[in-house]
A and B are shown apart, each in its own frame.
Chain A
Amino acid sequence: MTTPPSQVVLSVEDVTIDTRPAGRKPIVRNISFDVREGETLCIVGESGSGKSVTSMAVMGLLPKDALQVTGGRILLDGEDVLQATPARIRELRAQKVAMVFQEPMTALNPVKTAGAQIDEVLRLHTNLSAAERRQKVLHMLERVHLPDVERIYKSYPHQLSGGQRQRIVIAMALILRPRLLLADEPTTALDVTTQKQILRLIKELQEEEKTAVVFVTHDFGVVSEIADRIVVMNRGDLVETGTCAEILSNPRQDYTRMLVASVPSLIPRCVPVPANPKVLEVVALEKRYGKKGLYRDRSVLAAQNISFTVRKGEITGIIGESGSGKSTVARCVMRLTDPSGGAIVLNGHDIVPLRNLRPMRQHVQYIFQDPYRSLNPRRTIGQSLMEGLLNYGLRETEAARKAAATLELVNLPAEVMNRYPHQFSGGQRQRIAIARAVVMEPDLLIADEAVSALDVTVQAQVLQLFEEIRARTGISILFITHDLRVAAQICNTIVVMQDGRIVEQGAARDVLAAPVQAYTRSLIDAAPAPDWDFQNFRPVSRAL
């Protein structure tokens, strides 16, 4: 290092956090790290790693009757916050250490205006007059690049978009120019394009103020964009620390290697399938929510003029940001939602006019996003798997045999048939949900954000499983995702949607590697770390 060593702002020394009353094993064990002025430290880990708990401990926001710090010191500019009085901690908050939370939708008080909520910080910690405070808040709103700040000041949170709300939260956190900013998954709930803007904003403000930033995230893409140094955590232990480059290109620990290698990259891997027969052909599909009123048109077009095909053995991805209509299309194909117009041709028959859906549902199955809610908690795995088979008149013994065989297919032992969903992890549940769909031997599988709720390592396994099932059964899959990197791993064909319309479609290697439309290109540009090939710990070779 040529620059003189800057001052350490936060020093976490040997901190252990335990449940209260103490559990068998503390949930964070002997963690130590430093953060310096102007530096961004990323704490990376999967769910249950203790990364959020660690950041909450710094803020003194651990739920008092559930968690406590049982050992170590947390020094903020040399002052141990664990020893500070409640009054002193309140003083430190917002002035020396501030926090940005994950959910911009719920982090703001819905019954107060955005301006009043930022103003509150000034009222608590300064003696400024109302006019001075207002001036300062408006200035801060400008600094976080919000448009029309006078209007935003008077707006309630529900009148703002997710990205705008997160800017408000950031403004609130940084208005008193704290020394340390804790950001707990601040962009996870946002679309990629918004995520990119927020990351840039944090970076920009940090450089102006020399703020130290602790950035908690599960997403290595984000990490590679912003981190100076990285702390990797796993189940409460600190696995490895190092500079960004060290961890991404040369991780020393096995766990880190696995974690980094699980991150999908943007390189499309699948070639188009040959001209197999069409399993699904969607023609000019339209979905309108609400009715066209007599005087005013209150309806919303969630999807219009949607046409695409899925061939036998093909995985077709529909990608788009939230509100693009991709899920609406999937639900229409499944007839969970009734389409307003167009045709959905399944194996040569249009299913839009069907009134009795049972015969059609044998041929199409659906996998939902949330594995925690898609299995009835009161029914055993066996009961869930056999339900469909029994509905279509299979005998119980035969159904049980098929269910057991399908469980083997998704790498679960047949013995789990008598267990209940809560005894399984998220990844296992998603595999059970896949088994429940596959056991029906459908021609088409619809996977609606089926891997989005999973940790990266589990996500990689489930994607692998989809591949295997396709190879073994020749099934076609309609794969809905917001994540381009996931789509790149598995899709032969890609349909890009925006605002209810198809923007671009074609073979995955064409759409992702050489997009024709500006919107597709902006999506690809916004995806974090487009140039890094995580599986191989090196930059993407452009000689593809």
Chain B
Amino acid sequence: MTQTPAPDTPIPPARDLPEMDSAAPDGGFGALVRGVLSSWPSRISALVLGAIILMAVLAPFLGTTDPVAINPALRLQGSGPEHWLGTDSFGRDVYSRIVYGARISLAVGAGTVLVSLLFGVFFGVITGYFKWADIIVMRFMDGLMAIPGILLAIALVAISGATLTTVLIAISVPEIPRIARMVRSVILGVKNEPYVEAASVLGTGVWKMVWRHMLPNTVAPLLVQGTYIFASAIMTESILSFLGAGIPPETPSWGNMMADGRTFFLLKPELILYPGAMVSLTVLSVNMLGDVLRDRLDPRMAKRL
């Protein structure tokens, strides 16, 4: 057989190689989903994520009891038929709290994605298209980016009071400059594309230009970035709660459970490890899907994490 020498990594195809990947630029949403689900790791990730979503939706029907019901008589119980995963230091049912906790985590994830994308895209378009906005808004964004996100979030939550809304805002705000920068760079990059210049030659106006010829290019990176933000929001929520600056302590959230478990860690580590495993599993599966999505949509985007 042919002995091809050393190279382990491919050399890019030369100018006149036939097109080896003749995939359509826009395969539609269905094709994307099929593509993402074509490998086993991503299938498993999707399955895990699906199960967690289902768990959140169907929480009351999964053999749970009231997740906030306190029963001091049954503190720190082990696993048993009554309490599948035991009870915590207030005698609350750990299993029920874990199931209900999925609701908080997913809500925080989805909410953060929504808020940060909305504002990020807006500022990104403005700064990418208009020079005057770029100078003003981007200075502000630079300042925002320089502040450690977690510190800003802790401060915001601690000062404005611990509610789900504040936590959501606190987690979203540090993400906005990142999204804005990304959208801005796509808009700037596409601004000199011949097809955008061609449209301008045809007399296409500003907003039509942005909507038709520029924004479609941000969909793929936003989709990928969105999954990563979803994952990191869940992570940040758990860290905030763990540090005591998260959502109200009585709410059953994974972060709160871990915060409660700290005191008894050496005695009963599963109080931290169960919710910890749930956070890790959720974040892991979302990140895995994000990776596959990124590889499918745009291999060059691999550069950005």
CB 8 Å contact bits of B152-179 with A (1 = contact, 0 = none): 0000000000000000000000000000
Residues of chain A within 8 A (CB-CB) of B12 are: 63
**In the complex, what residue of chain B is closest to A368 when comparing beta carbons?**
B194
**In the complex, what residue of chain B is closest to A27 when comparing beta carbons?**
B18
In the bound assembly, the distance between CA atoms of A89 and B26 in angstroms comes to 42
CB 8 Å contact bits of A506-524 with B (1 = contact, 0 = none): 0000000000000000000
Which of B1-9, B49-57, B235-243, B295-303 lines the interface with chain A? B1-9
Residues of chain B within 8 A (CB-CB) of A255 are: none
B16 touches A391 (CB 8 A): no
Residues of chain B within 8 A (CB-CB) of A52 are: 14-17
Nearest CB on B from A16, distance (A): 11
Nearest CB on A from B20, distance (A): 6
CB 8 Å contact bits of A17-53 with B (1 = contact, 0 = none): 0010000000100000000000000000111111111
Dominant SS among interface residues on chain A:
loop
Nearest CB on A from B208, distance (A): 8
A361 touches B5 (CB 8 A): no
Nearest CB on B from A28, distance (A): 10
Residues of chain A within 8 A (CB-CB) of B193 are: 373
B16 touches A47 (CB 8 A): yes
A378 touches B26 (CB 8 A): yes
In the bound assembly, the distance between CA atoms of A378 and B12 in angstroms comes to 26
Nearest CB on B from A458, distance (A): 14
In the bound assembly, the distance between CA atoms of A238 and B161 in angstroms comes to 77
Residues of chain A within 8 A (CB-CB) of B11 are: 56, 61-63
In the bound assembly, the distance between CA atoms of A19 and B17 in angstroms comes to 10
Nearest CB on B from A37, distance (A): 25
**In the complex, what residue of chain B is closest to A388 when comparing beta carbons?**
B202
A66 touches B10 (CB 8 A): yes
CB 8 Å contact bits of A443-479 with B (1 = contact, 0 = none): 0000000000000000000000000000000000000
**In the complex, what residue of chain B is closest to A83 when comparing beta carbons?**
B3
Residues of chain B within 8 A (CB-CB) of A27 are: 17-18
A19 touches B20 (CB 8 A): yes
Nearest CB on B from A432, distance (A): 11
A192 within 8 A of B: no
CB 8 Å contact bits of A56-72 with B (1 = contact, 0 = none): 10001111111111100
B143 within 8 A of A: no
In the bound assembly, the distance between CA atoms of A392 and B203 in angstroms comes to 8
In the bound assembly, the distance between CA atoms of A437 and B195 in angstroms comes to 12
Residues of chain A within 8 A (CB-CB) of B16 are: 45-53
A377 touches B25 (CB 8 A): yes
B201 touches A53 (CB 8 A): no
B79 within 8 A of A: no
CB 8 Å contact bits of A207-249 with B (1 = contact, 0 = none): 0000000000000000000000000000000000000000000
A366 touches B198 (CB 8 A): yes
B6 touches A376 (CB 8 A): no
A69 touches B195 (CB 8 A): no
In the bound assembly, the distance between CA atoms of A353 and B16 in angstroms comes to 45
CB 8 Å contact bits of A85-96 with B (1 = contact, 0 = none): 110011000000
Nearest CB on B from A14, distance (A): 14
Nearest CB on B from A259, distance (A): 14
A375 within 8 A of B: yes
Residues of chain B within 8 A (CB-CB) of A65 are: 10
In the bound assembly, the distance between CA atoms of A66 and B5 in angstroms comes to 14
Question: Which of A85, A364, A365, A373 touches B195 (beta carbons < 8 Å)?
Answer: A373
Residues of chain A within 8 A (CB-CB) of B4 are: 60, 62, 64, 68
B13 within 8 A of A: yes
A291 within 8 A of B: no
**In the complex, what residue of chain B is closest to A360 when comparing beta carbons?**
B203
Residues of chain A within 8 A (CB-CB) of B216 are: 378
Most A CB within 10 A of own CB, among B4, B20, B196, B216: B4
Count contacts on B: residues with CB < 8 A to the other chain.
37
In the bound assembly, the distance between CA atoms of A52 and B14 in angstroms comes to 7
B47 within 8 A of A: no
Residues of chain A within 8 A (CB-CB) of B218 are: none
B199 within 8 A of A: yes
Question: Which of B3, B25, B195 touches A374 (beta carbons < 8 Å)?
Answer: B195
A273 within 8 A of B: no
B3 touches A82 (CB 8 A): yes
B142 within 8 A of A: no
A373 touches B194 (CB 8 A): yes
Question: Which of B24, B25, B196, B203 touches A391 (beta carbons < 8 Å)?
Answer: B203
In the bound assembly, the distance between CA atoms of A361 and B202 in angstroms comes to 7
A436 touches B202 (CB 8 A): yes
Nearest CB on B from A333, distance (A): 11
In the bound assembly, the distance between CA atoms of A83 and B5 in angstroms comes to 10
In the bound assembly, the distance between CA atoms of A119 and B8 in angstroms comes to 25
Most B CB within 10 A of own CB, among A86, A90, A376, A433: A376
CB 8 Å contact bits of B195-221 with A (1 = contact, 0 = none): 111111111110010001100100000
In the bound assembly, the distance between CA atoms of A33 and B244 in angstroms comes to 77
| A92-127 interface (Cβ within 8 A of B) | 102
CB 8 Å contact bits of B255-268 with A (1 = contact, 0 = none): 00000000000000
B201 touches A336 (CB 8 A): yes
B7 touches A64 (CB 8 A): yes
CB 8 Å contact bits of A346-357 with B (1 = contact, 0 = none): 000000000001
In the bound assembly, the distance between CA atoms of A469 and B241 in angstroms comes to 71
Question: Which of B3, B14, B201 touches A361 (beta carbons < 8 Å)?
Answer: B201
In the bound assembly, the distance between CA atoms of A360 and B196 in angstroms comes to 18
26 A-B pairs (CB sep. < 8 Å)? A27-B18, A45-B16, A48-B16, A49-B16, A51-B16, A52-B15, A61-B7, A62-B11, A68-B2, A70-B2, A82-B2, A86-B3, A102-B14, A184-B14, A336-B200, A358-B203, A362-B203, A368-B194, A375-B198, A376-B195, A376-B196, A378-B26, A388-B204, A391-B202, A391-B205, A422-B24
* Besides A61-B11, A373-B193, A387-B202, 6 other A-B contacts (C-beta < 8 A): A67-B17, A90-B6, A365-B202, A366-B197, A378-B26, A388-B204
Q: What 3 A-B pairs have minimum CB-CB distances, sorted nearest first?
A: A388-B202, A374-B194, A63-B10
Residues of A within 8 A of B (CB): 19, 27, 45-53, 56, 60-70, 82-86, 89-90, 102, 184-185, 334, 336, 357-358, 361-362, 364-366, 368-370, 373-379, 387-388, 391-392, 420, 422, 433, 436-437, 440
